[in-house]
């Protein structure tokens, strides 16, 4: 019985020692696994950082190239604008010289107060067409290499840009009528819009605005 009592503590000690050894081994194994994972993650982070630095470098190069291309495009745009401005100046000068060399033979004014263009409209009334027909008869009687200049005008109602567009549409309507109905060559006709810039009557009154809504046809030789 005493032997059995003595053997029990020894067995417990042996089992306890075995458990302790097993626990230490397990901890070392788990620590090793954790260290391995940490090392793997560290390498992955370093690789990611390296790729990020490489990408940032490439992005910087692309940005520099894009900026340089944008600067070249801006410079080209400025040169194109300067060329257009110079061409416009030359054309304006040529037109001015051409007009100065021509003599005004007669002119016809198509205004609302005389049955011409209505408020905000670019459609020609029948009264205006009759005036144009009469003008063409005079042209046929005395051609003399005539050149026709058509001016579009409006009152000051509305915006400046809108009035310029409306004046141009009115002038173009007259040009189209001359070409389609009377076969006047297009190269013999020029159109220009002054919009609200050149009133012939005060815009403060209804009658004055009606006079300003007009198309002026000038016959030059």
Q: What is the pLDDT of residues 105-161, one digit of tens each?
A: 788 888 776 656 667 777 777 778 888 888 888 887 776 668 899 999 999 998 999
Q: Which one-letter DSSP state was computed for residue 221?
A: -
123-136 burial, b for 16+ CB within 10 Å, e for fewer? ebeeebeebbeebb
Beta bridge partners of residue 219, listed in sequence order: 106, 148
Same domain for 115 and 81: no
Instruction: Tell which of 101, 127, 159 closes a domain.
Output: 101
- Closest by CA position to 124, among listed 185, 41, 181: 181
Same domain for 183 and 85: no
- Within 13 Å, how many C-alpha atoms sit on residue 7's CB side? 4
Pairing type for strands 189-195 and 147-153 reads: parallel
> Which secondary-structure segment (H or E) carries 143?
none
Q: What is the pLDDT of residues 59-111, one digit of tens each?
A: 888 878 888 888 888 888 888 888 877 776 766 665 665 555 568 778 888 87
Domain extent, residue 145, equals: 102-220
Same domain for 132 and 80: no
- Residue 20 CA to residue 6 CA, distance in Å, equals 22
Give burial (CB, 10 Å; 0-12/13-18/19+) of 102.
middle
Q: Is the pTM of this model over 0.75?
A: no
Same domain for 215 and 106: yes
Structural domains counted in the chain: 2
């Amino acid at each position: 019985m005493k032997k059995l009592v003595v053997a029990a503590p020894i067995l417990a000690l042996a089992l306890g020692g075995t458990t302790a050894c097993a626990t230490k081994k397990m901890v070392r194994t788990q620590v090793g696994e954790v260290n391995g994972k940490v090392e793997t993650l560290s390498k992955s982070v370093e690789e990611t950082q390296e790729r990020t630095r490489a990408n940032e470098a490439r992005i910087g190069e692309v940005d520099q190239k894009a900026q340089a291309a944008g600067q070249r495009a801006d410079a080209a745009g400025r040169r194109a604008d300067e060329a257009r401005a110079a061409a416009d100046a030359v054309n304006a000068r040529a037109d001015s010289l051409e007009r100065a060399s021509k003599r005004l033979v007669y002119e016809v004014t198509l205004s609302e107060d005389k049955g011409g263009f209505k408020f905000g409209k670019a459609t020609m009334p029948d009264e205006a067409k009759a005036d144009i027909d009469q003008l063409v008869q005079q042209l046929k009687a005395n051609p003399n290499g005539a050149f026709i200049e058509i001016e579009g005008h409006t009152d000051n109602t509305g915006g400046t840009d809108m009035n310029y567009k409306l004046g141009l549409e009115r002038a173009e309507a007259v040009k189209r009528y001359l070409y389609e109905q009377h076969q006047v060559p297009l190269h013999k006709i020029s159109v220009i819009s002054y919009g609200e810039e050149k009133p012939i009557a005060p815009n403060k009154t209804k009658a004055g605005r009606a006079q300003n809504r007009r198309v002026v046809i000038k016959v030059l030789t």
